[in-house]
Chain A
Amino acid sequence: MESPAPTTPLFEARGITKIFGELRANNNVDLTIEQGEIHALLGENGAGKSTLVKIMFGSLQPDGGEMFWLGEPLAVRAPAEAREAGIGMVFQHFSLFDSLTVAENIALSSPPGENISDIAERAEMLATQYGLPLDPTSLVGDLSVGERQRIEIVRCLMQDPQLVVLDEPTSVLTPQEANTLFETLFRLRDEGRSILYISHRLEEVQRICSTATIMRHGKVVDSCDPREETAGSLAAKMVGADIVDVVRPALKGEGAQILEVTGLSSFADHPFATALKDITFNVRAGEVLGIAGIAGNGQGELFARLSGEEPASGGSVKIDGSECIEHGVTERRASNAAFVPEERLGHGAVPVMRLSENMLLTHHGEDGVTGGGGLRTVAGRFVAKAAQAVVSAMDVRKSSHNPPAASLSGGNLQKFIVGRELVRKPKLLIVNQPTWGVDAGAAAHIRQSLIDLAAEGSAIVVISQDLDEIFEIASDVAVMADGHLSPVEPVANMTRERIGLLMAGQNASEVAA
């Protein structure tokens, strides 16, 4: 094997420092990206990855440090300058405009002068070339998450970048969509471009990256070849301590039927909804039912009918033996059920309200929360204490005593929202995407607490697109495809391949165990 000739690194950052108030978001960070490599930037949420990337892209100005491009000093004062230099960025939160067409969205980040129909033509060509089919005339608001990401990638490729930065690109994709993305990335690498790949999905990083820089608390703590590490050793470097594996106790016999869903159906109430078709399943005490499926196959619709947020068009939902199909969320909660929706901000919590106030959202009907007789005044001190109990039980890390929900990092807020339901010790807990976009440490904590609740004799339904998560915590598995739910089977009967086929809508009887 010949050793590659030493080349100048494509990009180099030395001693980058960025201070927000008292927080050193980046503390003397060094990063070197060679030409033609896929370089991973690993770290928990809040480790400073996004800050570093924003500085590279000119959205933030560093307080110290310098950057080099092919050995020459590089200063980026604005995103346009970064693009000019050859840095392309695919954001985790897409910067797209729902009311504009694909072509218009792409045009907005292209240098002025070129007219929109030329841009559309060029975009379509690039899209085909890299296996990312796109219709330039469709409205972004009508597109799926995967398609939206394609726009971001094509938009970035329009500038012919030498360095492509991707921030958590697969957190919203199905395994198949992710594979397509990796193909595209390999093609870009083979063309001699470099890729900075930000993720906390360790298996992916091991699969596609040749170098990894690991950040923790604003500092670079290690740099290694991820292919020579194990997922466990990488995670340990990221978190700074070994992640405790989730412990799943064996089921003790048959529990009582807690949730019985029979023939549950709904109409698609808007053009982008999926109709639920005759959904039937049961969950017993002590069981964790994992519902897998590709995003947009009716999981959100199912959650809304189980929680009582949206009315069903037919069928029955029995919680602990009593019929609840006509009941709203509060009545179902009174039957000792609890619900954790998918979106943390805006659905699970009110962003501008403090934690104690957010506590009230699901606890308003309980004893002790309201006092003052008929006036039902909120017992502020009681609620604040309850919120603090959740905070300490779930190890929620926050900046002040009782901060607004929006100021918490995703992982910490998710721990709070799950913990808020756990303190009630519900007999039935239904969770949609419990660890979406949550760092590894927090995800392990949340999964363990779900399993602990099941061990205490509650029934749990976890709707998740993350197959690792399902295999880690579920005792039984069912798969949603186009509004249908496959029959529930013990997790031991399931393989990834089989779930993949069921996800693609194949009939359970055709997909032999």
Chain B
Amino acid sequence: METTAYIILSVCAAATPLLLAALGELVVERSGVLNLGVEGMMIVGAVVAFGTAQVTGNAYLGLLAAVFAGAAFSLLFAFLTLTLATNQVATGLALTILGLGVSGIIGEDFVGQPGVKLTSISIPYLSEIPMVGPLLFAQNPLVYLSWALVAGVAWFLFRSRAGLTLRSVGDNHVSAHVLGIPVIRVRYLAVLFGGGCAGAGGAYLSLVYVSQWTEGMTAGRGWIALALVVFASWRPLRVLAGAYLFGAVTIAQFHAQALGIPIPAQFLTSLPYIATIVVLVLIASNRRLTMVNTPASLGKPFVPDR
């Protein structure tokens, strides 16, 4: 019983940074912008969170700083791709490379230092419910935040007027512009939100997951988050499911080895990407499904004619 709970908790720990970053990217892509810089924004978030928490001694300040750092870093991407209309793929890749480099420099002195841990919060009474209690109600604040974000993003996208506007910009930016919707401003806000979420995902790694700083500690999670958005066919609830599935796969890598199950680790590592390809093929074979969920102007630069 204890092992099961332990495994579920560790799946949750592996899933949360993916979930945070992917939800942010989902909003970005729904507005029609493809930001491949998730990995870069995450690692900047991770190092800023670690540094701020260590200097101030307050993990929450670390988290806040990470959100701002991620958003500030994405602002660079937004300026290049939205104001200067550069190629989104190339700019996103550059952002990832830049983020990995910059975080290495900032974090040079933090390597090997003990960090400040963002501790879990047990909700009184609820967390004492047998079985479910510790799993649902004695979690890290960032886990609660990620769950709340799923509901928030789902509500925002499909229930609110602002979300409708955002989806319209992602579907057809020319039409949106003609109707007087401020396409570029909507996309700026979406990119900043995505940056903040990626920063929070990075903060989870350096404040909770390992609570120390090592160079390149995101270890490709930004890329998994990107794949996750496609895997979830741009739907928030499926991002939740996908994040836990991909998290479980990560955990399975450790346990399969320990238990001597003969599955090559490389296979498990590649599983999220294989799953994403399968999903891409599945949705591509259904025109209607693609039409409803895939932002049609994804990755296309928009220059208003004035």
Q: CA A191 – CA B288 in complex, angstroms?
A: 40
In this assembly, does A355 line the interface, its C-beta being within 8 Å of a C-beta of chain B? no
Question: A112 vs B165: C-alpha distance in the bound complex, in angstroms?
Answer: 11
Contact residues in B for A78 (Cβ distance below 8 Å): 180
Do residues A79 and B178 form an inter-chain contact, with CB atoms below 8 A? yes
Selected from A59, A61, A80, A97, the residue in CB contact (under 8 A) with B168 is: A97
Asked if B296 CB lies within 8 Å of chain A CBs, one says yes
Complex Cα gap A270–B161 (Å): 33
Q: B127 at the A/B interface (Cβ < 8 Å)?
A: no
Interfacial chain A residues near B168, Cβ < 8 Å:
97, 100, 104, 108
Q: Is the CB of A100 within 8 A of B171?
A: yes
Q: CA separation between A61 and B304, bound complex, in Å?
A: 13
A271 touches B288 (CB 8 A): yes
Partner of A79, one of B180, B287, B295, B306: B180
B179:A79 contact, CB within 8 angstroms: yes
Contact across chains for B164 and A139 when beta carbons are under 8 A apart:
no
CB distance from A119 to the nearest CB of B (A): 10
- Knowing A95-B175, A97-B172 touch, does A141 contact B291 (C-beta < 8 A)? yes
B164 x A95 contact (CB < 8 A):
no
Chain A residues with CB under 8 A of B178: 59, 79, 91, 95
Docked pose: A6 CA to B227 CA in angstroms: 67
Interface string of B257-299 (1 = CB under 8 A from A): 0000000000000000000000000000001100111111000
Q: DSSP class of A's interface residues: helix, strand, loop or mixed?
A: loop
B187-207: CB near A (< 8 Å → 1, else 0) gives: 000000000000000000000
Closest A residue by C-beta to B162: A112
Whether a CB of chain A sits under 8 angstroms from the CB of B181 is yes
How does the 8 Å CB contact mask read for A65-104 relative to B, with 1 for contact and 0 for none? 0000000000000111000000000010011111110001
Task: Please determine whether B291 and A99 come into contact, CB atoms closer than 8 angstroms.
Answer: yes
B291 near A97 with CB under 8 A, answer no
| B221 contacts the other chain (CB 8 A) | no
Asked whether any CB of chain A lies closer than 8 Å to the CB of B117, the reply is no
| A271-B164 CB under 8 A given contacts A79-B178, A97-B172 | no
Partner of B179, one of A60, A104, A109, A270: A109
Contact among B164, B174, B296 with A98 in the assembled complex (CB-CB below 8 Å) = B296
Residues of B within 8 A of A294 (CB): none
Q: Which residues of B contact A462 (CB under 8 A)?
A: none
Closest to A109 in B: B179
Cβ-defined contact, A97 with B161, below 8 A: no
Does chain A have a CB within 8 A of B235? no
A-contacting residues, B138-182, CB 8 Å: 161, 164-165, 167-168, 171-172, 174-176, 178-181
Known: A108-B165, A270-B287, A271-B287. A95 touches B179 (CB 8 A): yes
Q: Is the CB of A108 within 8 A of B179?
A: yes
Q: Does A107 contact B (CB under 8 A)?
A: yes
CB of A95 within 8 A of CB of B174, answer yes
Instruction: For the complex, count residues of A whose C-beta is within 8 A of B.
Output: 26
Q: Give chain B residues whose Cβ lies under 8 Å from the Cβ of A94.
A: 175
**B residues near A112, Cβ cutoff 8 Å:** 161
A99 and B175 in contact (CB under 8 A), knowing A141-B291, A271-B288? no
User: Known contacts being A78-B180, A108-B179, A112-B161, is A97 close to B292, with CB within 8 Å?
Assistant: no
Chain B positions within 8 Å of A79 at CB level: 178-180
A109 to B168, CA, bound (A): 11
Given known A-B contacts A97-B168, A97-B171, A80 and B292 have beta carbons under 8 A apart: no
Chain B: minimal CB distance from A464 (Å): 28
Q: Are A100 and B167 interface neighbours, CB within 8 A?
A: yes
Q: How far is the CA of A103 from the CA of B296 in the complex (A)?
A: 19
Q: A99's contact among B161, B167, B180, B181, by CB below 8 Å, is which?
A: B167
Provide the residues of chain A in CB contact with B161, threshold 8 Å: 107, 112, 116
A154, B31: Cα distance in complex, Å: 26
Nearest residue in B to A272 (C-beta to C-beta)?
Answer: B287
* B237–chain A nearest beta-carbon distance, Å: 18
Q: How far is the CA of A96 from the CA of B296 in the complex (A)?
A: 12
Check B291 against A98 for contact (C-beta < 8 Å): yes
Q: How far is the CB of B186 from chain A (nearest CB, A)?
A: 12
Write the nearest CB–CB distance from B162 to chain A, whole angstroms: 9
Q: In the complex, what residues of A have CB within 8 A of residue B175's CB?
A: 94-97
CB < 8 Å: which of A58, A91, A104 contacts B164?
A104
Instruction: List, in ascending order, chain A residues with CB within 8 A of B167's CB.
Output: 97, 99-100
Instruction: Tell me which residues across on chain B come within 8 A of A91, comparing CB atoms.
Output: 178
List 27 A–B pairs whose Cβ atoms lie within 8 Å, in order of A's numbering.
A58-B180, A59-B180, A60-B306, A79-B178, A80-B180, A94-B175, A95-B175, A95-B176, A95-B178, A95-B179, A97-B176, A98-B171, A98-B172, A99-B167, A99-B291, A99-B293, A104-B164, A104-B168, A107-B161, A107-B164, A108-B168, A108-B176, A109-B180, A116-B161, A139-B291, A141-B291, A142-B288
Given A99-B293, A139-B292, 5 more pairs with CB closer than 8 A: A59-B178, A79-B179, A99-B291, A104-B168, A112-B161
A-B pairs, 3 with minimum CB distance: A95-B175, A79-B180, A95-B178
Chain A residues within CB distance 8 Å of chain B: 58-61, 78-80, 91, 94-100, 104, 107-109, 112, 116, 139, 141-142, 270-271
